[in-house]
Amino acid sequence: MSVITQMQERLNQLAPLHIEIIDDSARHAGHAGARQGGGHYQLKIVAASFAGLSTMQRHRLVYDALGSLMTREIHALSIDARSPQDL
């Protein structure tokens, strides 16, 4: 199962209305994290569960949902987390 598929499955617990994950790992070839197997990803996610939360709180929800993927499979993650009201 690909890392993106695993990410999508884990992020489903946030009931996203929209989710987009881009693998930027190839742009970081040779980077220390890439040599250790961790990928670089961009995440755009819209979920009602982010309403009223600060950016830090939204990111914490994403990190918690991704869990152990953040320790090896994901080296770097750019997060754009919005609620439907932010659009």
3-state secondary structure 63-80: HHHHHHHHHCCEEEEEEE
Span 70-80, pLDDT tens digits? 998 998 999 99
pLDDT band of residue 34 (cuts 50, 70, 90) is low
Local structure of 42: helix, strand or coil: strand
Total-model pTM: 0.90
CB atoms within 10 A of CB 2: 11
Domain ranges in the chain are: 3-86
Cβ-contact 17, 84 below 8 angstroms: yes
What class is the 3-86 domain?
alpha beta
Phi, psi of 20 (to 5 degrees): -140, 130
